[in-house]
Structure 1
Amino acid sequence: MEPNTGITFDDVAGIDEAKQDFEEVVDFLKTPQKFAAVGAKIPKGVLLVGPPGTGKTLLAKAIAGEAGVPFFSLSGSEFIEMFVGVGASRVRDLFNNAKKKSPCLVFIDEIDAVGRQRGTGIGGGNDEREQTLNQLLTEMDGFSGNSGVIVLAATNRPEILDSALLRPGRFDRQVSVGLPDVKGREEILKVHSKNKKLDKNVSLSVIAMRTPGFSGAELANLMNEAAILAGRRGKDKITLKEIDDSIDRIIAGMEGTQMTDGKNKMLVAYHEIGHAVCATLTQGHDPVQKVTLIPRGQARGLTWFKPNEDPSLTSKQQLFARIVAGLGGRAAEEIIFGEPEMTTGAAGDLQQVTQIARQMVTRFGMSEIGPWSLIDPAVQSSDVVLRMLARNSMSEKLAEDIDRSVKHIIEKAYEIAKTHIKNNRDAIDRLVDVLLEKETLTGDEFRGILAMFSDKFSGNVQQNDNVRELVNV
């Protein structure tokens, strides 16, 4: 039990909708008489639902800090023991202590450890976990009145929780704590940059644009990695270079040993330039941020893209453009070196491309089969037990149609990718020469060189002296 968490809503950023919901809970705890006067009851429980690292635990502590009430925190797994009855006893003790400190908050993290759907265990329902859950259900809405005790719980798997736990009267509210959008990421970066010395050229809004899909925990880790990198390099401030390197490290892995000059290095250069050219010349794709031959993780080279908008909604055109860009590396290998010289370097690209194409057909209804979902939700559930028990009711004919549609999308994209490579061979050769010399090309340098060779692209890029110098070398 913490009498004061020391955390307020000012320490929580990027999840404004969830904060608004919880401001009401704080008002309940501070001035219950205001709501009692109009016949309102304090909610018994609030369930926080969202991916890992989005700030569910931090938000719970902030509610207790704002309200100035005691904060009981524990994990769902702490109830469970090998001895039957111990978990139920701990639940009773927890609520007895909480009632003595009323009004207060009880926070149960990872409640799915104890709140899983009953009846899925082997050997009947009389096991320790189910007894613990039964006691929790009784305490939250049983014969005893728990006035002033609000239960907060967090989980990233709400679909496996018992329906009796989720009904009104126990968890009256479910608050979604999702991944932050671009504005939310910028606010989170501001919070985690307060105690760090940033160079004046560092723009948090640009960093927020470069980190789609990052959670609050990942953004905090990003700024910490950048600070460690700046210290290692003997700098007194964090520059954009440290932040860029930290993003690359988090997404792709640690920097590997640079390749020596040779056939493999040239092949990787053509592969990466193939990705970048096909992405740039296909309408709907995000712009290239940089192309590099510096290995990271399992990748021998990398092409980075910068999202134009927050990728919460993606169009059919954008998905198809990603498939064309993903096949650009393999297309470059085949056109330039010949089919016998194709390598295993495109294995990851092909896996990603196939997954996108299959989702277009089966989940998003973006094929000639029609606008309907072709996969049972239980089959694609994150719960292993549900996936094992689910029956796939798809007919053989429909499975064949799906495979044919996926194959058609990928073949069409591959033909477009090969056409881009054939039509821009001079530009690709020049780009590869520059990339082999510099090992990293920025997006502006790449687009500038491509614009000098491609009539289709030349009107979209302003030339500068540095790019002309690169081309004329």
Structure 2
Amino acid sequence: MNEVKTPKKPFIYYLIIAATIMILLNTLVFPNVLKHQVKEVGYNVFMQMTNNQEIGSVNITDSEIFFTNKDNSQMYKTGVINDPELVDRLYKAGATFSTEITEEMSPIVYLLLGYVLPIFIFVALGRWLSKKMMSKMSDGANPMNSMMFGTKSNAKIYVKSTSGIKFSDVAGEEEAKELLTEIVDFLHNPGKYQEIGASMPKGALLVGPPGTGKTLLAKAVAGEANVPFFSISGSEFVEMFVGMGAAKVRDLFKQASEKAPCIVFIDEIDAVGKKRDGRIGGNDEREQTLNQLLTEMDGFDGSKGVVILAATNQPDSLDPALLRPGRFDRRIPVELPDLQGRVDILKVHAKKIKLADNVDFNAIARAASGASGAELANIVNEAALHAVRCGRKFATQADLMESVEVVIAGYQKKNRILSDKEKLIVSYHEVGHALVAAMQTNSAPVQKITIIPRTSGALGYTMQVEEGEHFLMNKTEMENKIATFTGGRAAEELIFGEITTGASNDIEQATKFARAMITRYGMNEEFDMVAMESVSNQYLGGDSSLTCSMETQTLIDQKVVQLVKEQHQKAKKILEDNVMKLHEIAKFLYEHETITGEEFMEILNSDSQKIIEEKQQ
């Protein structure tokens, strides 16, 4: 859509204009006028300057001679004396003959230009600013705030456009689009809702993790409805001076009422809409801005077609008064896309690049499990960039899979060269993960194993990809996942009898899963179905805090250690039972640095020599 920004002209703006005018007058106009003042000298000075070839231009009249110096910075005049050879001497001295005669400026003109004109400019500017301030006072705004700092809202206005974003440009959020379609229909056909007595919700709150397309959905609503779209961030309301944010809220809703039907979108509304705690010494400006927002949402008539949309990824922190019916009536979740949603999003973004005919979007979507819409768009773009680096004119399946790995683990760090010993340890470590995962039931299949370092700091990694979409995990699956995390360290202990720092992330993940099983999922017989932990900010990674006594926390720690130990021992047992395959696969990985899931399973179920011969061919 075409963006039109509302101009904002505070008092300092006009001061700068006035200062600029005076600087231009003093540097361009006045010097050019004043330099034409003529200095009267004797004829001997004129002759001396002629002999020294210091004359620039000269004009000889019947009674006077006007001349300048070489750089024409000063005009002189002297009387005329009968001198027949004067013209020849001037010609030999390099003087230029000019017919232009510059008279000396009148002192009255100099006074007008130097003093009266600047005073007139400032008086005129002052009268104009006074009128502006009076008009602001008649509108009920604080004139000093308006003129000095500007209280006009910073909302960006996207006007009607046939090339705007539509619902077809948004994929993977079908439920959210269905709920928002009703708002679009109301803006188009308000009569059928009013006929039955129904009123449209005044506001809809879009909640979800970052990158899921909340802002894109709001623009799509405006594009489908083909109405003006006001967009502003919540942080733009918060100002240093008390009352400024509230004035901006008033101005925003005033503009919206004038352009109704329209949509007002407030992004990151948690910046101004957080819960009021009532403590003295808080941010009075933020609370006044929130109070004004609540008042404005109560005051405007929803039947005019003004719809308020807002987005946040911290819904738990919003003030309850903001979420009550009559303000933000409808809460629309914009969650991470499922498998089919990821496929649809990839297809939408893939239209912008050239692709090979054999691209399997389903395989890419399964490998990118848990990715947001923004991350999927980045994956497609990274694939196109990778294809260009490889000299191809279109992106292939391999480019897309590599871009998934780039988003997950970073770029390949080709300048980091591991020693032979480190390379061997990393090979056994990664194969330990893969072998433990493969030998357990209810475990995701291995997609790829590599020991090429990445920019994220990983010296290697094992990629597991689920065959389908899973929304629940049972106790056995979680225990198997913990065992898989400990498989790398178990392989190091079994083969080298030493442990390294390479398992730091594995330890963190295994501990996280084990603690969640006990404190949140009720997967421990002793605690049964009692929650020992609460989670806040679920859309921003989830901050957990224990809600139990110190004695219980100590017991939880013991249970976590016991659970991880049990799975660690299970991983060791699996590797001991399959130690020959561990050696065989680790040797293959050490030599080739990367193994695909198919190659891994073939070596596991047959002989590696056949795989080596096929690679050489």
Letter in 1 for 2:210: P
Distance 2:467 2:426 in 1: 27
* 2:256 paired with 1:102: no
Q: State the distance in 2 between where 1:345 and 1:167 align.
A: 50
**1:128 aligns to 2:282 (yes or no):** no
Q: Distance in 1 between matches of 2:413 and 2:595?
A: 18
User: Aligned match of 2:491 in 332, 335, 342?
Assistant: 332
Q: Deviations over 1:400-427 (max 9, x none)?
A: 3212221221111111100111111111
1:317 matched to 2:471 = no
User: In the alignment, what sits opposite 2:434?
Assistant: 276
The yes-or-no answer on 1:441 pairing with 2:585 is: no
- Secondary structure, in 3 states, of the residue corresponding to 2:242? coil
In structure 2, the residue matched to 1:3 is: 159
- Alpha-carbon distance in structure 2 between the residues aligned to 1:20 and 1:331: 50
Equivalent position of 1:73 in the other structure: 231
**In 1, Cα distance between the equivalents of 2:585 and 2:168?**
48
Aligned to 1:161: 318
The 1:46/1:393 distance shift into structure 2, 3 A limit, reads closer
Letter in 1 for 2:504: A
1:21, CA displacement in angstroms? 0.4
Residue in structure 1 matched with residue 221 of structure 2 by the alignment: 63
Is 1:364–1:371's contact at 8 Å kept on the other side of the alignment? no
Matched residue SS, 1:202: coil
| 282-291 or 398-407, which deviates more | 398-407
Say whether 1:451 aligns with 2:615.
Answer: no
Specify the code of the residue in structure 1 equivalent to 2:409.
Answer: A
Q: Which residue of 1 aligns with 2:559?
A: 405
Among 405, 424, 439, the residue aligned to 1:248: 405
Distance 2:545 2:561 in 1: 25
Match of 1:49 among 207, 216, 221: 207
Deviation, 1:468, is 7.8
The separation in 2 between residues aligned to 1:207 and 1:393, in whole angstroms, is 40
The 5 Å alignment of 1:160-239 reads: 160-239=317-396
Cα separation, partners in 2 of 1:465 and 1:437, compared to 1, 3 Å: closer
- Once structures 1 and 2 are overlaid, which stretch shifts more, 195-204 or 100-109? 195-204
**Contact between 2:521 and 2:531, CA under 8 Å: does it hold in 1?**
no
The answer on 1:302 being equivalent to 2:456 is no
Deviation readout 1:410-457 (Å, 9 max, x if unpaired): 11111110011111111111111111111101111111111138xxxx
What secondary structure does 2:263 align onto?
strand
Aligned-partner Cα distance in 2 for 1:59–1:337: 54
Q: Is 2:536 the partner of 1:381?
A: yes
Aligned positions, number = 453
Give SS of 1:173's match.
strand
Give the secondary structure class of the aligned counterpart of 1:10.
Answer: helix
Q: Structure 1 residues 399-408 or 289-298, which shifts more?
A: 399-408
State the 1:176 CA deviation.
0.3
State the TM-score, normalized to the length of structure 2: 0.70
Is the CA contact (8 Å cut-off) linking 2:356 and 2:395 kept in structure 1? Answer: yes
Superposed displacement of residue 472, structure 1: 13
- Greater shift after overlay, 394-403 or 435-444? 394-403
- The 3-state SS of whatever aligns with 1:283 is coil
Deviation of 1:381 after TM superposition, in Å, equals 2.1
Distance 1:260 1:44, change over 3 A: closer
- Aligned counterpart, 1:456: none
Q: Relative to structure 1, is the Cα distance of residues 224 and 320 closer, same or farther in structure 2, using a 3 angstrom cutoff?
A: same
Cα distance in 1, alignment partners of residues 197 and 221 from structure 2: 23
- Whether the aligned pair in 1 keeps the contact of 2:519 and 2:533 (CA below 8 Å) is no
In 1, Cα distance between equivalents of 2:612 and 2:606: 9
CA contact (8 A) 1:430 1:471 kept: no
For the residues of structure 2 that align with 1:434 and 1:376, how far apart are their CA atoms? 44
Q: Is structure 2 residue 179 aligned with structure 1 residue 21?
A: yes
| Cα distance change, pair 217–16 in 1 and its aligned pair in 2 (3 A) | same
- Output one character per residue of 1:146-166: Cα deviation in whole Å (capped at 9) or x when no partner: 532110000000000000000
**CA offset digits 1:232-264 (Å, max 9, x no partner):** 211011012211211111111121135355111
Whole-Å separation in 2 of the counterparts to 1:449 and 1:74: 57
The structure showing larger relative contact order (alpha-carbon pairs under 8 Å, at least 6 residues apart) is: 1
Q: Secondary structure at the match of 2:198?
A: coil
Contact 1:48 1:174 in 2 (8 A): yes
Asked whether the 8 Å contact 2:443–2:481 carries over to 1, the reply is: yes
> What is the one-letter code of the residue matched to 1:349?
D
- Residue 2 of structure 1 aligns with an amino acid whose one-letter code is Y
Moved more, 106-115 or 402-411: 402-411
Offset from partner CA, 1:131-182 (integer Å, 9 cap, x none): 011011001013x535321100000000000000000100110000000000
With over 3 angstroms needed to count, the CA separation of the structure-2 counterparts of 1:189 and 1:373, relative to structure 1, is farther
Say if 2:227 and 2:262, in contact at 8 Å, map to a contact too: yes
Quick one: distance in 2 between partners of 1:273 and 1:471? 19
Name stretches of at least 5 consecutive residues in structure 2 with no aligned partner: 1-156
Question: Tell me, what secondary structure is at the counterpart of 2:197?
Answer: coil
Deviates more, 1:283-292 or 1:151-160: 283-292
Show structure 1 runs of 4+ deviating over 6 A: 470-473
- Name the aligned partner's letter for residue 489 of structure 2: R
Asked which structure has the greater CA Rg, the reply is: 2
Say which is worse superposed, 242-251 or 170-179, in terms of deviation: 242-251
Who is 2:611 aligned against?
467
Deviation at 1:368, TM superposition (A): 2.0
Q: Residue 293 of structure 1: CA displacement?
A: 1.1
What letter is aligned with 2:568?
A: Y
Does residue 1:345 correspond to 2:502, yes or no?
A: yes
Q: CA deviation at 1:374?
A: 3.1
Q: CA deviation at 1:124?
A: 4.8
Distance, in Å, in 2 between the alignment partners of 1:288 and 1:107 is 44
Q: Is the 8 A contact 2:437 2:445 kept in 1?
A: yes
- Cα separation, 2, equivalents of 1:391 and 1:77: 28
Return the letter of the residue paired with 1:148.
G
Distance of aligned partners of 1:85 and 1:329 in 2 relative to their CA distance in 1, 3 Å threshold: same
Structure 1 unpaired stretches of 5+: 454-463
Cα distance in 2 between the residues matched to 1:471 and 1:412: 39
| Identity percentage of aligned residues | 50
Residues 55-97 of structure 1 deviation map (CA, whole Å, 9 limit, x = unaligned) = 1111001111111111111100111110111111111111111
- Amino acid of the structure 2 residue aligned with 1:467: I
- Between the aligned partners of 2:616 and 2:256, the Cα distance in structure 1 is 75
Task: Tell me how far apart the structure 1 counterparts of residues 547 and 514 of structure 2 sit (CA, whole Å).
Answer: 21
C-alpha distance in 1 between matches for 2:546 and 2:383: 47
Q: CA deviation at 1:307?
A: 1.6
